[in-house]
Amino acid sequence: MRKLFHYPLCGFSRCVRLELSEKHLDYEMIYETPWNPSEDLLEYNHFGTIPVFVDINGVSVYGFSAIREYLEEVYSEINLIGTDFQQRAEARKISDWFSSVFYKDVYYPIVQEKILKRFSKNIDKTPNPASVRIASSKLSTHMEYISWLIDRRNWLAGKDFSIADITAVSFISVLDYLGAITWNKYDIAKSWYARIKSRPSFRNILNDNLPQIPPIKDYVDLDF
């Protein structure tokens, strides 16, 4: 059985989970916490970071970009990057935007305040509400970017669902879980998110429910 070492509220882990599900690949999810890696995880990745993917043949890959490239090369029957160089470049560009700029400006400051400061022993626990306010203000720019793209395309990178949508929704869905997005401000982006929430691949993401950090009430609703 394939294995994925993951943390449910890790955007990078969600990227891999969605790609595995979109490719109809069965796998076992092994729960990890980013701040306290297990010995099993360290056996495959001595840095102790997630996600880590272990294939049926024993090949192990860590880092969501490396796992993504591996899955596209080994399980190429379902293509999530694009069929020509322009589509692939656009999908990679948008994916990189959300995994770097959105991650730094919006996702990490909010996750740091709402999750990491609660559980990690290796981080300054002094509250910094200003960082959340700044991140929340920057969120609008990214949601407007999504709206601008969807107003002109079927999906973020073009006519087909791709890694661009997967990366964006993986980080955005964590913020949605935490109640950090006011969706009535972003009607077009909301329609895009609703379409993804209805995809079969998203069902196990909607099932995430950590007792110590429960999701907001509307998180599981497809018509939210």
**How many other C-beta atoms can be found within 10 angstroms of the C-beta atom of residue 152?**
8
Q: Which residue has the tokens 């107003």?
A: 151
- For the chain, how are helix, strand and coil distributed in percent, rounded to 5? 55, 10, 35
3-state secondary structure of 54: strand
The pLDDT tens digits for 176-205 are 999 999 999 999 999 999 999 999 999 999
Percent of the chain's residues with pLDDT above 70: 100
The pLDDT tens digits for 151-171 are 999 999 999 999 999 999 999
The pLDDT tens digits for 169-179 are 999 999 999 99
The pLDDT tens digits for 1-46 are 999 999 999 999 999 999 999 999 999 999 999 999 999 999 999 9
pLDDT at 127 over 90: no
pLDDT at 53 over 80: yes
Q: What are phi and psi of 162, to 5 degrees?
A: -150, -175
Q: What is the 3-state secondary structure (H, E, C) of 6-51?
A: ECCCCHHHHHHHHHHHHCCCCCEEEECCCCCCCHHHHHHCCCCCCC
The pLDDT tens digits for 101-121 are 999 999 999 999 999 998 888
The whole-angstrom separation of Cα 3 and Cα 40 is 12
pLDDT at 128 over 90: no
In this predicted structure, what is the pLDDT of residue 224?
83
The whole-angstrom separation of Cα 181 and Cα 193 is 12
CA distances from 101 to 12, 17, 108, 183, 224 (A): 14, 21, 10, 21, 27
Q: Under 8 Å CB-to-CB from 197, ≥6 apart: which residues?
A: 206, 222, 224
In this predicted structure, what is the pLDDT of residue 123?
80
In this predicted structure, what is the pLDDT of residue 40?
96
pTM value is 0.95
